Amino acid sequence: MGALIAVSLFVNAAFDLAIGRSIRHAMRMPFIMLRRQGAAAGPASLFFLLFCATPFLPASIRLCAAIVTLIGFRVTFSRMDVPQNALVPLLAPDPASRMRLLAARNVCGGSASLLVTAVAAPLLLVETDSALPHIAWAAIVAGAVVVSACRLARGRCVAASSTSEAGHPGGRAALSGALVLAITCTVTAGSTMFRAMEPYAAAYGGAGLCIMIWASFGAILCQPLWAMVGRGLPPHVPPVLAGGCTLAAALAIAGPLCAGGIGIAVAGLGFGIGSGGLWLMVWEAAIRGNDQSANLQRISSLTAVSKTAQGLAMLWLGHALHGAPYRTVLATPGMLRSLTMVAALLLITLGGLLLALGERRLSRTSRDAGPMTPHQGAQTIQDQAPPLSAGSTVPEPRAVTAG
> Which tens digit of pLDDT belongs to each residue from 2-48?
788 889 999 999 999 999 888 877 766 778 888 888 889 999 999 99
pTM to 2 decimals? 0.78
pLDDT tens digit sequence for 339-352: 788 899 999 999 99
The Cα–Cα gap between 100 and 394 comes to 48
Backbone angles phi, psi at 382, to 5 degrees: -90, 125
How far lies 349's CA from each of 81, 191, 278, 307, in Å?
A: 27, 11, 9, 19
pLDDT value at position 188? 95
Give strand pairing partners of 382. Answer: 399
**CATH of region 2-161+168-361:** 1.20.1250.20
Domain boundaries, the chain: 2-161+168-361
Q: Which amino acid is at 98?
A: R
pLDDT digits (tens, 9 = 90+) for 253-267: 876 555 567 878 888
Non-local (6+) Cβ contacts of 194 within 8 A are 215, 271, 275, 341, 344, 345, 348
Residue 375 exposed, middle or buried by CB count within 10 Å (0-12, 13-18, 19+): middle
Q: What percent of the chain has pLDDT over 70?
A: 75
Give tens-digit pLDDT for 102-149.
998 888 888 877 777 677 666 666 666 666 777 788 888 888 888 888
Q: Are 53 and 135 a contacting pair, CB within 8 Å? A: yes
pLDDT score, position 17: 92
Residues in CB range of 109: below 8 A, 6 or more apart: 219
Packing angle of the helix pair 336-369, 177-204 (nearest 10 deg): 160
Question: Sorting pLDDT into bands at 50, 70 and 90, what band is 171?
Answer: low
Average pLDDT, rounded, for the chain: 78
Q: Is the pLDDT of residue 163 over 70?
A: no
Nearest to 222 by CA among 172, 286, 181, 269: 269
- Higher pLDDT: 201 or 304? It is 304
Cα–Cα distance for residue pair 304/285, rounded to 1 Å:
16
Asked if residues 362 and 176 have their Cβ atoms less than 8 Å apart, the reply is: no
User: How many Å apart are CA 332 and CA 347, to the nearest integer?
Assistant: 22
